[in-house]
């Protein structure tokens, strides 16, 4: 692609390199906008130009990025728009308004439900202002989805009763779907998710079988009791506290154990560190008082 433009000997202005056959204004790289786009797209100069009607193509683009602004090109663009955008109207269908029951006509593609904007606004206001019945939280996905939909009303607030997944305490909320009763339990639930993600990553690094394991559920199943020393761990303690609850694999991952709930037990941090990657049967006699 050439980088220098030719000069008009009369006016001294830069013109297209195809001058005098092309009288369009200079654009870039030595060419006008028309020839520059053709070189950029790999289109020959003599190829037919069928993007716009013939009159606009003959007049060309005079350096404007949105096309020429002369009356000829403007009229050609209007004719093009009338042909492609103002064609025959699509078929209409009749329907019954779901608010007032009147018969209406609408475009087949719109799937209209109301005969006017007034009926649509009244139906929306009636639906949002209407009271919602109390929904009992039962923990199944359908109830959780129903609670999410009902809590976005601008009318009466929906009171949802549930149990905290961390401390098992009952609570009532009215703004949005929740699983915890307080901010402290919410932080512990978030930490539980991060801990489970780290455990899954460590298991994948050892090419072990990975299943869904929630540390909180394992701790609740074992009642926070360490299966190695038969002591109760502290549910609010964190590592490196000796009594902090941790997940230990009965068959270590290094020896082919799986990361699944059946192979996971609750162990205090002190016992988990001492055990390491050894099997329970390999522990010295008397070092631990194993739980029955």
Taking the C-alpha atoms of residue 154 and residue 218, their distance in angstroms, rounded to an integer, is 40
- Residue 17 to residue 262: CA distance in whole angstroms: 79
Mean per-residue pLDDT, 247-269 = 88
- What average pLDDT does the segment 241-248 reach? 90
**Each residue of 94-142: pLDDT tens digit?**
888 888 888 888 776 677 888 888 888 888 887 776 655 554 555 555 5
Is a pLDDT exceeding 80 seen at residue 35?
no
The C-alpha atoms of residue 150 and residue 152 are separated, in whole angstroms, by: 6
Average pLDDT (165-193) is: 79
Q: Looking at the predicted structure, is the pLDDT value of residue 220 above 80?
A: yes
Could you write out the DSSP letters of every residue in 28-84? BTTB-HHHHHHHHHT--TTS---SS-HHHHHH---S-TT---SHHHHHHHHHHHHHH
- d(C-alpha 36, C-alpha 28), whole Å: 7
Lowest mean pLDDT among 30-34, 191-195, 266-270: 30-34
Residue that the structure tokens 């919602």 belong to = 132
For the chain, give percent helix, strand, coil, nearest 5: 35, 15, 50
Global confidence as pTM: 0.41
Pick the CATH number of 195-282 from 2.20.28, 1.20.120, 1.10.30, 3.30.519: 1.10.30
Q: What number is the average pLDDT over the span 16-31?
A: 66
Q: Give me the pLDDT at residue 62, please.
A: 45
Q: Provide the residue ranges of all domains of the chain, joining segments of one domain with +.
A: 6-85, 92-129, 135-173, 195-282
Has residue 249 got a pLDDT over 80?
Answer: yes
pLDDT band at 52 (very low <50, low <70, confident <90, very high): very low
Between residues 30 and 169, which one has the greater pLDDT? 169
């Amino acid at each position: 692609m050439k980088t220098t433009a030719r000069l008009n000997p009369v006016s001294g202005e830069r013109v297209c390199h195809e001058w005098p056959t092309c009288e369009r204004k200079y654009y870039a790289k030595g060419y006008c906008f028309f020839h520059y786009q053709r070189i950029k797209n790999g289109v020959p100069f003599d190829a037919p130009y069928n993007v716009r009607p013939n009159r606009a193509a003959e007049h060309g683009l005079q350096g404007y990025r949105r096309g020429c602004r002369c009356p000829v090109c403007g009229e050609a663009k209007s004719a093009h728009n009338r042909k492609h955008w103002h064609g025959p109207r699509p078929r209409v269908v009749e329907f019954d308004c779901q608010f007032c029951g009147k018969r209406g006509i609408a475009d087949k593609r719109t799937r209209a439900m109301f005969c006017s904007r007034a009926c649509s606004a009244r139906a929306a206001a009636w639906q949002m202002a209407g009271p919602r019945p109390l929904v009992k939280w039962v923990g199944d996905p359908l109830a959780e989805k129903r609670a999410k939909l009902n809590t976005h009303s601008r009318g009466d607030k929906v009171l949802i009763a549930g149990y905290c997944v961390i401390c098992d305490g009952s609570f009532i909320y009215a703004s949005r779907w929740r699983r915890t009763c307080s901010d402290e339990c919410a932080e512990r639930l978030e930490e539980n998710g991060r801990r489970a993600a780290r455990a899954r990553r460590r298991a994948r690094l050892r090419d072990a079988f990975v299943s869904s394991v929630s540390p909180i559920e394992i701790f609740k199943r074992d009642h926070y009791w360490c299966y190695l020393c038969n002591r109760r761990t502290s549910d609010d303690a964190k590592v490196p506290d000796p009594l902090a609850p941790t997940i230990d694999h009965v068959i270590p991952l290094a020896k082919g154990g799986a990361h699944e709930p059946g192979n996971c037990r609750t162990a205090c941090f002190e016992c988990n560190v001492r055990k390491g990657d050894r099997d329970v049967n390999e522990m010295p006699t008397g070092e631990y008082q194993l739980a029955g």
